[in-house]
């Protein structure tokens, strides 16, 4: 059985990607940190679409939890194979660097960057054995241009962009593509509190993006026909590049 693992699948962009992957026929592994109720809603929506999946709760910032929960799932589900991995789970904690506490730096780096390494390393082996795979990393405009108040988040996302390009070259000959998607402002809990009018003023498209628009790009990169697209960063930002 072919599976797609989406980290942070309980809400926002991750949920939209889960539903899209379910529609593509993948058995969807919905990872999340704490919000079982919302994760179940994602699963319900996949099922309403005639798809299937299951919840896989672990903290992507905790390498021991990744090893035990995801590692254990892989051992006990030998007949299931993770063909698509979407590293989507992410958080931000904005503050000017002068005021940033060590914990604010470390938490953001662990959740957004270290998670890429530990989750992908575990899943990659199966892709290498089967000589096929799709790794899609959800980064951010912040990782491309840097945003004031986000030195931690910008560093983490820029780190994932560098890792995307490096890993893509390591595994290309094994039929595995590694790409990143860099959203601008997308309507999810993450941008709650930011004035919609202010975003509309900044964005050339004059609107906020939808999670489904990011999911469409993830489905494109996950498709078998996208096999020659790798080490790419696809911006989805309504024209907001600077």
Question: Quick check: 102 binds ligand NAP (CB under 6 A)?
Answer: no
Q: For residues 146-165, which are near ligand NAP according to CB under 6 A?
A: none
Question: Quick check: 20 binds ligand NAP (CB under 6 A)?
Answer: no
Q: Residue 164 and residue 116: Cα distance in Å, rounded?
A: 9
Q: Other CB atoms closer than 10 Å to residue 213's CB: what's the count?
A: 15
Site string for ligand NAP, 105-124 (x = CB under 6 A): ------x-------------
Binds ligand NAP by CB under 6 A, chosen from 26, 32, 81, 116: 32
Tell me whether residue 228 is one of the annotated catalytic residues.
no
Are the CB atoms for 8 and 211 separated by under 8 Å?
Answer: no
Question: Quick check: 35 binds ligand NAP (CB under 6 A)?
Answer: yes
Question: Quick check: 185 binds ligand NAP (CB under 6 A)?
Answer: yes
Binding site for ligand NAP (CB under 6 A): 7-14, 31-35, 38, 59-61, 88-91, 111, 138, 140, 183, 185-186, 188-191
Residues known to be catalytic: 153
């Amino acid at each position: 059985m072919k599976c797609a693992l989406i980290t942070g699948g309980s809400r926002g962009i991750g949920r939209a990607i889960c539903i899209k992957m379910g529609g593509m026929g993948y058995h969807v592994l919905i990872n999340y940190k704490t919000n079982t109720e919302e994760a179940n809603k994602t699963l319900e929506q996949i099922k309403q679409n005639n798809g299937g999946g299951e919840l896989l709760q672990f903290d992507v910032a905790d390498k021991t939890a990744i090893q035990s929960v995801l590692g254990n799932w892989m051992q006990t589900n030998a007949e299931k194979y993770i063909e698509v991995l979407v590293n989507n789970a992410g958080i931000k904690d904005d503050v000017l660097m002068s005021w940033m506490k060590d914990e604010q730096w470390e938490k953001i780096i662990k959740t957004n960057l270290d998670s890429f390494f530990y989750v992908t390393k575990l899943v990659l082996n199966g892709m290498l054995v089967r000589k096929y795979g799709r790794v899609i990393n959800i980064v951010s405009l912040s990782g491309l241009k840097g945003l004031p108040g986000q030195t931690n988040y910008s560093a983490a996302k820029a780190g994932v962009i560098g890792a995307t390009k490096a890993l893509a070259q390591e595994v290309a000959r094994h039929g595995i593509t590694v790409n990143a998607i860099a959203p601008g402002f997308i309507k999810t809990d993450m941008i709650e509190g930011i004035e919609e009018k202010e975003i509309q003023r900044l964005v050339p498209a004059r609107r906020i993006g939808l999670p489904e628009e990011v999911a469409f790009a993830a489905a494109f990169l996950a498709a078998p026909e996208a096999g020659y697209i790798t080490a790419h960063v696809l911006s989805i930002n309504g024209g907001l590049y600077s």
